[in-house]
Amino acid sequence: MATSTVMQSARSQKLMETAAQADDRPEIDLLLRKSKIVREGEHALSLRAQEERGRRWADEEGYRVRKIWKENLSAWSDVQRPKYDAAMSAVLNGEVPALWVYALDRFSRKGAEAVVPILGKARVIFDYERLDSMNERDRRWIIDRAENAREYSARLSHNICDTKTRQRNEGRWLGRAPFGLVAEKTRKLSPETTPIKGEHYSPWDVVCRIFEEMSKGASARALARKLNAEGVKSATGKTWRADSVRAIVIHPVYEGWLTVSPSVGKSHKAPVHYLKDTGERVRCVTDESIPMMISAKIAEKARRVLSGHQIIDRTPRPGRVKYLLSGKLACAGCGKSMAILGKSYSCHLRNAGGTCLAPASASREALERYVVDHWLARMVNAKADDPLMIAVAQRWAALTKPEETEEIREAVAAVRAAEASLDKFHADDREGFYAGRSARYRLPAKNQAEARLSAAEEQLAELSGGAVDVSFLLYGGAREAWEAADDVLRRDLVAVAIDGITVARAPGRGARFDGESRVTIEWAEPMDEDAETTPDDMAMAA
């Protein structure tokens, strides 16, 4: 069956080639163009209708259509037109004797500069105007009509820009409403709270959940997997991806602000706030919807987590913990975690049936004793200005003063994000992002980035400087604190000083445990190298 189909196709192709060879009429190409957006008042002929008209003209004038060049884009000066360029190259180089175009405004709207190169040099037929570029009497008409088309486009562009500016200043959303929002008759937006068909949640519920979970530390990739696992529907009805989650989090519209897309060639940039001539932002939501929008605090925190400027603290909290080193151990052979199996900590990948080239295993008693001995040694020998003790103080504060510590952590993250925002402005400025129509956004963007950094630095300065008492771990106190601690507190004491422990495979079965050759301890470092923490800040008693 398949062989028969192939043979029929080959015969059909051969017949077509034979027919083309028998047709000795001169060839002509058709250039068809229609704008993606049909402007108000413009009744453009469809591509199919243009093709039918071109073929009819070719038959009537004794030509055979060689190739059809189709474009579905604007013909204005700042648009790249590869099909137009190829069609022009073919006719100017003599590859094809003639080129047919439905009308002059379908050909180009650049005016005389587009038509002068073809006059008397290449045959281009403008069907609607009944003009021929090789006809001496048509030269003046072609130039005049081309200039008229250019003036019309310039006037139309000016009127459209004025209309859009007025509508944007009124806070109207001109495009399709983003996911989770719906456009009212006034083109103002409001949250789409109607439940999705067959579901108990609305699109706006999904948006709120994305911001909430992201602000609590979820990554875009993990959140996308979670939404897909739960069957939550996306804007397209397909699966969620990390970039679709990111697109929601970075968009200012969910806070209720009107935005504009980046200029041509900057499609990788995030939407930016639309600003009036006075530099003011514009609300694009109804007055009733403003209280429902995502708060600036949640949005900023979610974006800091997304960009990596804020890591949500995952220091273990007191709870029912059975093993001292659970969650801290990694197998040197595969990098995966180690878990309890019988009386030993062993490679979890190997335990689960996976393949590890050098699976590590160590007696729980021997490994815990080695780690505790090294922990005590570091604590006993630590000085007041030891970076390890600064890290211990910061993490101990996270256990004993979680609310205060979280405020400082957010303030540090806000400074980092503000610094990155200012760096981004300078990078965009160097790239020419604020050139042309975007020039009006340059100074407001610069002022906004600098003001944001100043405010973040002031907030951090106000929160910094609180005392954290870890003196009980210094000057021999660590051993006494360890002996008096229960299992939960011992786990916390290890956690504030140690980030991770890597264990290598034993040299042979039954070999005596040698911690020095098999164990690598990663000691904690201060949360921020620039943090202005001093021995006085830690309130350490001599």
Structure tokens at 398: 């996270």
Given a contact cutoff of 8 angstroms between Cβ atoms, the answer to whether 122 and 99 are in contact is yes
Nearest alpha-carbon partner for 503 in 371, 401, 403: 371
pLDDT of residue 55: 94
**What is the Cα–Cα distance from 206 to 181, expressed in whole angstroms?**
11
Helix or strand run (H / E) with residue 124: strand 123-126
* Total count of residues recorded for the chain: 542
Contacts of 43 (CB under 8 A, 6+ apart): none
Given a contact cutoff of 8 angstroms between Cβ atoms, the answer to whether 73 and 35 are in contact is yes
**What is the Cα–Cα distance from 249 to 243, expressed in whole angstroms?**
10
- How many C-beta atoms surround the C-beta of residue 460 within 10 A? 20
pLDDT tens, per residue, the chain with 542 residues: 455 555 666 666 665 555 555 678 999 999 998 875 444 344 457 888 899 999 999 999 999 999 999 887 654 545 678 888 899 899 999 999 999 999 887 887 777 778 888 888 889 999 988 999 898 888 888 888 888 877 777 776 666 677 787 888 888 888 889 999 999 888 899 999 998 888 888 999 999 999 999 888 888 888 988 999 898 888 777 889 888 898 999 899 999 999 887 644 444 467 888 888 777 889 998 888 889 999 988 988 888 777 665 455 444 444 444 688 988 899 999 999 998 988 999 999 888 888 999 999 999 999 999 999 998 888 877 776 678 877 777 666 655 554 444 555 565 566 666 666 667 667 766 776 666 666 666 667 666 766 666 665 565 555 444 444 556 666 666 777 788 777 777 887 888 888 899 999 998 888 889 999 999 999 888 765 444 444 333 333 32
Structure tokens at 153: 């486009």
The pTM for the full model equals: 0.42
Pair type for strands 329-331 and 498-503: parallel
Tokens 């001169």: give the residue: 26
Assign 3-class secondary structure to 134-154: CCHHHHHHHHHHHHHHHHHHH
What are the respective helix, strand and coil percentages of the chain, to the nearest 5? 50, 10, 40
Rg of the chain (C-alpha set)? 35
Structure tokens at 369: 């004793």
Helix axes 220-229, 242-249, angle to 10 degrees: 110
Q: What is the DSSP string of 74-90?
A: --STT---HHHHHHHHH
Q: Which residues pair with 502 in a beta bridge?
A: 330, 520
Nearest alpha-carbon partner for 540 in 466, 473, 464: 473
pLDDT of residue 8: 63
Beta strands (DSSP E) in 359-435 are 361-363
User: What is the four-CA torsion angle of 499, 504, 506, 507, rounded to 10 degrees?
Assistant: -140
Q: Is 304 exposed, middle or buried (0-12, 13-18, 19+ CB in 10 A)?
A: buried
DSSP-derived secondary structure letter, 184: -
Say how many Å lie between the first and final Cα of the chain, rounded. Answer: 93
pLDDT of residue 28: 94
pLDDT of residue 54: 92
Helix or strand run (H / E) with residue 329: strand 329-331
- The three-class DSSP label of residue 125 is strand
**What is the Cα–Cα distance from 38 to 106, expressed in whole angstroms?**
13
**What is the Cα–Cα distance from 120 to 69, expressed in whole angstroms?**
22
Given a contact cutoff of 8 angstroms between Cβ atoms, the answer to whether 383 and 364 are in contact is no
Given a contact cutoff of 8 angstroms between Cβ atoms, the answer to whether 223 and 210 are in contact is yes
pLDDT of residue 109: 73
